[in-house]
Amino acid sequence: MTVTAERGSDLIGPVELARELGLAVPTPEQVAVIAAPVEPALVIAGAGAGKTETMAARVVWLVANGIVAPERVLGLTFTRKAAGQLGDRVRARLRRLAASPLLDRLDPGGQRRAALLACDPTVLTYHAYAGRLVAEHGLRVPVEPGARPLTETAAWQLAHRVVSTWTEDIDTDKVPATITNLVLDLSGELAEHLVDPDDLVRWTTRFLDAVENAPRAARQRAGLPKDLQRILATQRLRVALLPLLADYARRKRRAGAVDFADQMSLAARLATDHPEVVSGERSRFGAVLLDEYQDTGHAQRVLLRALFGGAAPMPVTAVGDPVQAIYGWRGASAANLPRFASDFPRLDQHGGAGPARQHHLLTSFRNPPEVLDLANAISEPLRGGASSAGPGNGTDADGAVPALRVPRLRPAPTPVPVPSASPSPRTSGPNGSGWPTGSARSGNGRSPRRGRRRPPRCWCGGGPTWPGSQRRCALGGFRSRWWAWAVCWTNPRCANW
């Protein structure tokens, strides 16, 4: 079922829609994302900025205004837990919309309510979506449509059988278990980066030749440094493992199985080499939401760009934060965020292509102002010159990747309360001061032996809290009110911790 808004019809705003559904009123920066034009957009969302709620509100706004039907919404994220949370929140908001009398005014014919009651959006992980593409179109690659995904344990066992039964010589002193891990790592890296083994052999040959035959400087030793020798040995070992990699791939095909890296690389090949797959996905979905885009890899970028970007981009909304990019060790690239502006261009009225719009969600609802001040100060060196660049209008030093603006987080209008400095009434000292009493320390924080004031300790008997004083923070270089926290740093069981 396809639902579209009539041209010229009035659209309900995000604030009015939230009030009609009994939800919290969005902030101005959330309103800009929720009611953004139906075109590609990049959202830089800081930690605790309410990105999941904003994405769910974006779906509700699109469906309520008849811009897209609920079954034509695709949401992709990384983990199954995140996909479940996003899917549950979107479906809960849509159920509330279906039960609201607002639809009677927006859609007297009842088509939108019927669509809400009959269909749900599609919310998956990136790998689950790639696996579905392979299952539906695998014969085009070709791969068996019913190929079963291998777990990490099953993949290791299959690779270990390849290594343990290998009869040819390999110039290495590593044990079979280590070789098995190297084979799996190399297989995953080649698949995630869409690199053919023959290309790896050609690149390694050129690299070894360039290093070994490089002219030496005056008074340089004849032999290569040990660190460089280890690098060359690693490159030679990778080439020596390619026959084992080919045998591992043959055994996977014989068993009718694929691993996670295979799913993504095969899906990327389907999207780039088969236009019919692209047209089918474009006709199935009308709006796409991409969560945690800073953790996507090269194969995922190629897949999504081929399906929903290019010369005729779809309304794709990507949400991410380059400061939270933590999966570079497995092939993810935070550079995919600034590249989004060119991978999913925005078309103007004359058909010209321009960079996608960029929005920011910088109001943190999770942390109090003191935590945000400290976090901004610590992360400032990591932001570097990117924070001073305009949104999507700069380049890196090599001119390859556009610069990305990463502003500082700011607290919510109603700040999150910090832990109270006063102890719980049930656990305060008998003198009402909240500090532990006894022969070692009195309730007023003075030593009974010398009478000199010392740093008061937490009422639980743990470390000092320095109430009423100001200390210079060694990390951020600014003054912070430690007394506002009354935190016991040495006793995690303390209720003030």
User: Which residues make Cβ contacts (< 8 Å) with residue 218, sequence separation at least 6?
Assistant: none
Give CA–CA dist 140/130, Å, rounded: 14
Alpha-carbon separation of residue 267 from 133, 289, 484 (angstroms)? 6, 18, 53
| Single-letter code of the amino acid located at 63 | V
Is 52 labelled as part of a ligand binding site?
yes
Neighbour count for residue 424 (Cβ, 10 Å): 11
Cβ(63)–Cβ(94) under 8 Å? Answer: yes
Is 49 labelled as part of a ligand binding site?
yes
Give CA–CA dist 246/226, Å, rounded: 31
Distance of CA 291 to the CA centre of its chain: 6
Distance of CA 373 to the CA centre of its chain: 23
The token pair at 228 is: 């460089």
CA atoms within 13 A of residue 343's CA, in its CB half-sphere: 24
Is 47 labelled as part of a ligand binding site?
yes
Is 476 labelled as part of a ligand binding site?
no
Radius of gyration of the chain (CA): 29
| Phi and psi angles of residue 197, each rounded to the nearest 5 degrees, phi first | -55, -35
Closest CA to 497 of 395, 394, 420, 398: 420
Percentages helix, strand, coil for the chain, rounded to the nearest 5?
45, 10, 45
The token pair at 306 is: 């081929």
| Single-letter code of the amino acid located at 36 | A
3-class SS at 354? strand
The token pair at 45 is: 């969302």
Cβ(119)–Cβ(69) under 8 Å? Answer: yes
Give CA–CA dist 84/341, Å, rounded: 28
Give CA–CA dist 415/365, Å, rounded: 8
Give CA–CA dist 371/416, Å, rounded: 10
User: Which residues make Cβ contacts (< 8 Å) with residue 357, sequence separation at least 6?
Assistant: 36, 37, 39, 40, 41, 42, 346
Alpha-carbon separation of residue 148 from 114, 129, 134, 299 (angstroms)? 36, 15, 11, 20
Beta strands in 363-432 (DSSP E): 363-364, 394-395, 402-403, 410-411
| Single-letter code of the amino acid located at 413 | P
The token pair at 176 is: 């079979």
Which residues contribute to the annotated binding site?
45-52
Which residues contribute to the annotated binding site for ATP?
45-52
